[in-house]
Chains A and B, each alone.
Chain A
Amino acid sequence: QKEVEQNSGPLSVPEGAIASLNCTYSDRGSQSFFWYRQYSGKSPELIMFIYSNGDKEDGRFTAQLNKASQYVSLLIRDSQPSDSATYLCAVISGGGADGLTFGKGTHLIIQP
């Protein structure tokens, strides 16, 4: 059974600070890792994806992957109130045919 674990939160971060979101996964054969943002009642939207160990930066967002530790994280720099949302970690394992396995999400609150 493939599992993706996230702390449900809420994670409260002051505006302008760095928000750190974490995710662990059980399938060591996992190959592709995604972070989605979801506002309440809306569809998930892709923030970042990462395939290789290390860091990947895109604007205020940095994804970090450590396959040895089966750990992926998302850092949000200079957090804004508009970043308040639920962040979903998703993983594709093996050949990927059975699609994404999602974590249950971390609810992030940016305090003005």
Chain B
Amino acid sequence: EAQVTQNPRYLITVTGKKLTVTCSQNMNHEYMSWYRQDPGLGLRQIYYSMNVEVTDKGDVPEGYKVSRKEKRNFPLILESPSPNQTSLYFCASSAGTGGQETQYFGPGTRLLVL
């Protein structure tokens, strides 16, 4: 089954404790992206990657890191989480290198930073 998976689905952590949210897709997609969704603010892009070893900042990259060492994986790293990073996070992928194709979303990761 073609899908985007994320782990963990739910996470409670404390300020400053480094964490990684994994994202993996089995569709051989070139383009991958991370979004956060907050009430009243909608979905906002954090980082995106057009291909292996190619990543770039989205609209709200502060406090986040990403890497794209393999085509299928695109982890989101919070080096020192803060309460304002409490949010619902979505990973997405699409076939086109420019993100112009339909994007498929993972199930989401709900993060609470205390």
Contact = CB atoms under 8 A, between A and B. Distances in A.
A34 B42 contact: no
Contacts of B102: 34, 46, 49
A97 interface: yes
Interface string A30-57: 0110100000011111100100000000
Interface residues of A, number: 23
Contact of A96 (B45, B98, B104): B98
Nearest to B103: A100
A98 B33 CA distance: 9
Contacts of B33: 99-100
B105 A98 contact: no
Given A88-B43, A102-B42, A104-B41, A96 B108 contact: no
Given A44-B43, A104-B40, A96 B48 contact: no
Contacts of A19: none
B42 A88 contact: yes
Nearest to A88: B43
A95 interface: yes
Given A44-B90, A44-B105, A45-B105, A97 B43 contact: no
Interface in B81-97: 88, 90, 96-97
Interface in B31-61: 31, 33, 35, 40-45, 48, 50, 56, 58
Nearest to A51: B100
B75 interface: no
Interface in A56-100: 88, 92, 95-100
B22 to A, nearest CB: 16
Nearest to A43: B105
A43 B58 CA distance: 19
Q: Please list the 8 inter-chain residue pairs (A to B) with the smallest Cβ-Cβ separation, ordered nearest first.
A: A104-B42, A96-B100, A96-B98, A43-B105, A99-B99, A102-B43, A97-B98, A99-B33
